Amino acid sequence: MAALLVVRVHLDWTAPGHYDRDRSLPCRVCDTATKMRDAQGTACHQSCAEDEIARELLGTGRARIADERVPVPAQTLEVAR
């Protein structure tokens, strides 16, 4: 019997920086217009970011994600490696 691994990710994007009420831009994942922004300020649906992280956790993704709990300078160092 094959096992099924289900990963569900829920991001809390209630902070104001995740919503740009003035401008819709193409989501970096699905290319559909969105007012949502990821931690770097790039246009991205919350559901697309959640799916991206879930794929990363499963080892099948190539996510461009950042741990928002880490201060910005540390994230920059992380990317520079």
Residues making contact with Zn ion (CB under 5 A): 27, 29-30, 45, 48
Q: How far apart are CB 15 and Zn ion at their closest, in Å?
A: 19
Residue nearest to Zn ion (CB): 27
Q: Cα–Cα distance between 11 and 28 in angstroms, integer? A: 17
Q: How far apart are CB 48 and Zn ion at their closest, in Å?
A: 3
Per-residue H/E/C for 44-65:
CCHHHHHHHHHHHHHCCCCCCC
Q: Cα–Cα distance between 9 and 47 in angstroms, integer? A: 9
Q: How far apart are CB 1 and Zn ion at their closest, in Å?
A: 34
- Whichever of 23 and 72 has its CB closer to Zn ion, that residue is 23
Q: Cα–Cα distance between 10 and 23 in angstroms, integer? A: 24
- Whichever of 17 and 26 has its CB closer to Zn ion, that residue is 26
